[in-house]
Chain A
Amino acid sequence: MTTQTVPDLAAGTVHVQGVGKSYGGRTILSDFSLTVRPGEFVALLGASGSGKTTLLRILAGLEAHDTGTVDAPAERTVVFQEPRLVASKRVGPNVILGQRSTRERRAAASAALAEVGLGGREAAWPTTLSGGEAQRVALARALVRDPRLLLLDEPFAALDALTRIRMQALVAELCHEHQPAVLLVTHDVDEAILLADRVAVLQDGKVGVELEVPFDRPRRRGVPGFGDFRRRLLHELGVEEAIGAA
């Protein structure tokens, strides 16, 4: 793995420089560069197949890149699109998967579960959870490790519309509290605007446009300028939204 982990030097800053990646002759990322500072929430917007998940997987250490450099803190965790819980473990042990089950860890798991609104559910089996609950367990599993980099791979995409709104609020709140560097990969423009400090749009394998989100928190969809900002991002993605006959 060519991902370098330089905790001291970068002090938790994610620094991706000139990264290229291709699969079977098809270029996914080329000369991709992006920086995420500690405590900063960056959304990477892109159409499906644009390579945004590939970048996240490179940052997660799940995939190697062909060219360029990647500096990311070693303390990194991921919330995937699916909960990816181990069916044969109860919720508590799932949260501390891969860690020693000491009394402190178990207490930390309980605290993390309480944070995501699942206090007291340590003994539940994953199969008995709803989709939203399972995803909240996945969030607890990512947060209990005090990550310096939290990678979110379209974590709300599989949830129903109402659960999604609640989860987005929860993620915003918890990221504000824990202050990790966050990279959210999504194709949902509204979601990017609601959650991120900065939005990077992935075009042709690199960041085409980077925009600071100019709205105060807590954010709502209806605030003045939201529609314009949204249209701007959609335009960058090559989508003009006008539905119905003129």
Chain B
Amino acid sequence: MTAGTTTSRARAEAPPVAAATAAGTVPATAAGAAGARTGATSSGRKRRSPRDVLLRASVPTAILALWFLGSTQGWIDEKQFPAPWQVADAFARLVSTGVLWENLSVSLGRVAVGFAVGGLLGLTLGVVAGLFRLGDQLLDPTLQMLRTIPFLAIAPLLILWFGIDERPKIIIIAAAALFPLYLNTHSGVRNVDRKILEAGTVFGLRGLGLVRHVILPEAVPSVLVGLRVSLSVSLLALIVAEMSNAPRGIGFLMVSAQQYFQMDVLVVCVLIYAVWGLSVDLVVRLLERILLPYKRLGRRP
């Protein structure tokens, strides 16, 4: 369930990637397919008109205004949901006392380590299983089986094995990050257009050269999709991992706020997770700009 929601969210928020991968996986011959082309073109650098921006911003602005209005007018019970200024106050308090950074840094550290381990492993295994038949035979069946286990389900087991220190948290995050990157890298490497590979062979590329100049560059769009999903899922893993017996972290902050009925702090934590998710998206988009300069230009109609 978790993987499903994050994937669809990633897609909804990122039409450029979806279009880019669609175009990337279509063989060069089929590049004429109108669908792939128009999809990529619309993802190009088209400027939005002021009217468009206004309309898109209108609904979120209206929701914010309603929140303000509801809080001032007393339509919203403060005990159930804090007013915007209370949330702002709580945020300022958490920042000034250093409590926020103290916990956020711990959470960031956990994801950094967990993602580094799981992501790198997923990427490496994906490349190995994608490139070599033996690697595929040895790795793919096992990983495909393991990926069907919802990673959150192993949390209680890990806590029993490793106690409540950092290890189970990092393992859960690593496990969450591994599979999306493995799956997308594997299929990205596997599905490099045979025809382009053949052309590479005809023009003198062999072995490592073929991998370096054709296979890996052609697989990058797919890897980036995996990266986006991996980063989103590792955030979910972090939330779950920190909610069970964490001495510090944003999840710990939430659990203690819940115990003391600090609604404002709870909302701050939720917003921090939201900003986190948004940053993940921005980071991947930035990477796309750097690694896939040709995708931004759009196809010629």
Contact = CB atoms under 8 A, between A and B. Distances in A.
Contacts of A62: 198, 201-202
A88 to B, nearest CB: 4
Kindly state the interface size class of chain B when it binds its partner. Answer: 20 to 34
Contact of A128 (B27, B201, B292, B300): B300
A62 B299 CA distance: 30
A84 B27 CA distance: 9
Interface string A70-83: 00000001101111
10 contacts: A61-B202, A82-B28, A83-B28, A84-B195, A88-B217, A125-B293, A127-B300, A128-B294, A128-B297, A128-B300
Interface of B: 23-24, 27-29, 32, 40, 195-196, 198-205, 209, 213-214, 217-218, 220, 292-295, 297-300
B198 A84 contact: yes
A17 B161 CA distance: 70
A228 to B, nearest CB: 36
A145 B203 contact: yes
Nearest to A81: B29
Nearest to B196: A84
Most buried by B among A62, A126, A127, A130: A127
Given A83-B28, A84-B196, A127-B299, A98 B220 contact: no
Contacts of A141: 203
Contacts of A83: 28
Interface string A202-234: 000000000000000000000000000000000
Interface in A132-162: 141, 145, 158
Interface SS majority for chain B: helix
Going nearest first, the 3 A-B pairs with the smallest beta carbon separation are: A98-B204, A88-B217, A84-B199
A129 B300 contact: yes
Quick one: which of B202, B203, B218, B299 has the most chain A CB within 10 A?
Answer: B202
A62 B292 CA distance: 30
B204 A99 contact: yes
A157 to B, nearest CB: 11
A97 B218 CA distance: 14
A129 B298 CA distance: 10
Contacts of B292: 88
A84 B193 CA distance: 9
A60 interface: yes
A61 B200 CA distance: 12
Contacts of A38: none
A82 B29 contact: yes
